[in-house]
Each structure stands twice: as C-alpha cells, then as structure tokens.
Chain A
Amino acid sequence: MIDLKDVSKAYPNGVHALNHVNLHIDKGEFVYVIGATGSGKSTLIKVLNGEEVPDEGAVIVDGINVGALKHRKVPYYRRNVGCVFQDYRLLPKLTVFENIAFALEVVGMPRKQIRKRVMEVLELVDLKEKARSYPDELSGGQQQRVTIGRAIANKPKVLIADEPTGNLDPEKSLEIISLLEKINQKLDTTIMMVTHDKVLVDRFKKRTIMLDKGYVIHDSNKGGYKSL
C-alpha cells in the first residue's frame, strides 16, 4: 500500500528532514512511527499526503507516485489519505454531524448520500447521540473521535494519525487506539500512527518504525519500545 524508495527531503534552511528512507507498508497494516521531535515524522506525513515533494526517491501510495502528481490532481489523491491531527481541527460553528458532512460536501457528494454516510460514520465512532452537539460541548476524546470520523468519511485507503492521543489522558487514549484498531480491522484501512506515547506503544504491540534525524533506525515487527 505504501512504498517509500530511497526518499530524501531537505528544507531550504538546510535541515535534512528525511534521509534515504526505505519503507514498505502492506495493505491493512497498522504501524507506529515514533521518534524525538525533529526526527522527520511530520515530513514523512507531508510527503505521504502530497503536501511536500521529496527531493529524491519515490513515494508510492496505492500505486500512485505522490511526488510526481500534477498540482491539480493532488486534491483528488488526498481523498485516499485520511488525516487526523493532535489538535482535532474541527470547525467550532458546525455541529458534529455538520463537521463530518463538511468533508463529504466539499468533494461534491449528494445530500442524501451524505446523510446516510455520516450516520454510518457516527455509528462507527460511537457518537450517534452527539450528532447535534457542537465541538466545545464534547470532551477531548470525543472531539478526536469526530476528527477520526471526518477522516474516514471518504473511505480513504490510508489513515494517517499525527499524535492523535497527544492531548488526551491515558484512559481516553485507550479509547482512541481501540477505535483505530476497529477501523483497521473492520474497514481494512492501512493506518500509520505517529506517536510519543510509550505506554500505548508497549501495550498495543504493533510494527514500530523509529526515526532519528531523518533516518529509519529501527523497524521492528515485534512492537513496543523495549524491542527497539
């Protein structure tokens, strides 16, 4: 599903964010990406969702060479890649329902289908009774579930979560990770989760990729920090 072949990316200020990264992630896999601040995690996400173009090498997602995409084709490609952020990024003036519907509206889905799909998604993220609430009436965990719902509404093949538990207490973090696991298993969505959370990585063991200064320094199928 995701293939990175000798990918390098440097920024104009001279920072080498990624150095000769080679990665292969299969369809339906759930991987953690860990590493200190400035290790290149964010850049990895950016080359995957088409925000940045790698200087060298190729990023191939679902058979599409992301770096070589024409500018105007990027939006269409992005529908394959759902993104979840640490800070939720919900629209405060829209209800939960409208926030999720928004993602479907902007890709031009008919109103009837939107209604149906949003209800499906709300069912999946277990927020049906909060459909009419506004984001500031929800807890952090619930808000993050709305974000996840919005990210998967378009049925993306890949879901990238950028520290989805970063702002949450441990209990709520479990909620999120089990939701992501559910999505991973039920919808066969490939999930890449960037995280700092040692407890989580150790408890829910999965393939773990460690970045440092733009290099992949560990890639272990055993999972957990201890295996690294």
Chain B
Amino acid sequence: MLLFFKSLPRLVHSANKDMHRHFLMTFSSIVSIGIALLMALFIFVIYMNVGGFTSQIESEFMIQVSLNPTLEDEEISELSDSISSLASVKKVTYSSKEEELDALIKENGAMFKQYKGEDKNPLYDVLNVELKDNTKISKVTKKISKMDGVVQATYGGSAINTMIQLFKNIRVWGSVFVGLMVLIAVFLIRNTIKMTILVRKDEIAIMRTVGAYNWYISLPFVLEGIFIGFWGALGPVLICIFGYTGLYHVMNGMFFSDMMSMLKPYPFVLCTSGGILLIGMVVGMLGSYLAVRKYLRWTR
C-alpha cells in the first residue's frame, strides 16, 4: 500500500506520456465520451425539469365526478360505493364545493375569492376517483357519467396523454442513444489502451522479468482510461455549469410559461457536474479495464 502511494507520481507520469503518444486516438476517445456525456446531460436536464411538470400532470389523472346538487348525503355515499365497486378504481374521495373553491383559490389566486359565500359558489360537490391503471381512464369515465345523480365526469383529456407519451419517448430514446454512445466510448478507450499496451510491450516484458507487481504494470493504463474519461467529461461539465446557469437567468427561471418552472441552478448544477465527471471516469476506467484484462493477462 505504501509502495502504491510512493509510486503514484511515477505511474501518473507514465499514463500522461502514453496519452501524448497516441494523441489522435486519445482525442477521439475524449470526443466520443464527451458527446455521450453531453447528450446525457441534455436529457438529464430536460428530464429533471420536466419531471416535476409531469408528476403534476399525473396527479391530475383523476376523474372528477360532478354531482347533482339535489343529491342527499345518503345518495352521495351510495354513489361513492357503487363507483368504488368498479374494477380498476383505487380510491374515491368526496370533496364539497366549498373545498373545491378553496383549492381553486389556492392554486389560481385571489381573483376567485369573489365566488366565496352563500349561493355565490358556482361549483359542484365532487367525487374524485383515482384509478389503479390510468390507461382505463376513458372507459371508466364513460361508465361513471351514465350513473344517476352524476352531472358530468371528466378527466384531463387526450392532450395530456400525448404530452406524457412525448416526454416518455424523449426519455426512452434519449437513454438508448446515450447508452449507445457510452458503448462506443468504452470501445474506443479500450482500443486506445490496447495500442498503448502494444507499443509498450517490450517495456512490460522487462518489468515482468525484473519482478514488477502486476498492479504496478497495469495501473498506468487504468489511469490513462480515467484521465480520458475526465477530459471527456470536462466539456459537458463546463456547458452544464455555465450554460444552465446562463439559461436560467435568460429565461427568468421558467420554460415558456410559469407552469414549467426551471430548477434552481444551485446545487442542481454542481450535483449534475459531479455526476457527469464520475460517469466519465467510470466509463474510462471500464474501457481500460477491458483492455488490460485482455492484453495484459498473465498466466503460467
């Protein structure tokens, strides 16, 4: 262990020398890992920012059943029970029209306060129906709206559906693309390290004969991989730190409308940058590990 720390400068130096030796290979590895991480960064930033938005929408995946004002309490609970007994219904909660109005005021501001008071409230008492499976939402809504005492049964509608589907697609295909780029990066790094190993073959043979430990021989290559990952991640990290912060200020902290507010740059930017650096270095290490395992394996 002591030997490890004592020889670390020497090993780092050796790794650096090797990176200069195959500058083009090293450079292309750095670029490919950089592109992969940049894509990952964009997708992650969008995902994180949209994440809050979608969960907001998903909570609206609820059927709102407006009740005929003439219904007695008993009839309401009967209706509630019969909705509960439908398959795929999870929960039914009652909310009076006063509660609905309070919620409306809370969400959209004081201008709705004018409806407060006896006989001014234009809203209905409602039953909020949550589903076990959101894909059945239109069927269940149809069924409920045919029940007695129901004025109207509504849900967010198809616009929300397509939006969520779109975000999901971005997420899925983006992840697939990032995964592919990472794979390419690993492969390129593996080849870079392989070239270095081949060039240093004689040196390695001599190291073996004079009794260098295996880790001493292979560590510079692993370090080289980590450095490549680090340099590759540096670009995306800078873009993340300055780009996101700048964007946040330019857009005044929101996308298009205040319905989609952006996450505050700090600490989000720092955490993301740290994550990207880490991923880059891990990917670099993985690539070099694969090369070392294949080309430096020593058996007898």
Chain A residues at the B interface, C-beta cutoff of 8 Å: 49-53, 71-72, 74-79, 83, 89, 91, 102-103, 105-108, 110, 150-151, 153-154
Contact = CB atoms under 8 A, between A and B. Distances in A.
Interface stretch (B65-73, B93-101, B208-216, B263-271): B208-216
A151 B211 CA distance: 11
Given A91-B203, A102-B206, A108 B3 contact: yes
Interface string B273-300: 0000000000000000000000000011
B7 interface: yes
Interface residues of B, number: 20
B210 A154 contact: yes
A65 to B, nearest CB: 14
A152 to B, nearest CB: 11
A49 B300 contact: no
Nearest to B213: A75
B300 A74 contact: yes
B211 A89 contact: no
Closest 6 CB pairs of A and B: A78-B211, A106-B212, A79-B211, A108-B3, A103-B210, A75-B211
Contacts of A53: 300
B209 A49 contact: yes
B107 interface: no
B87 interface: no
Nearest to A49: B209
B119 interface: no
Contact of A76 (B206, B211, B299): B211
A78 B210 contact: yes
A89 B203 CA distance: 9
B207 interface: yes
B211 A110 contact: no
Contacts of A76: 211, 213
Nearest to A93: B203
Nearest to B299: A71
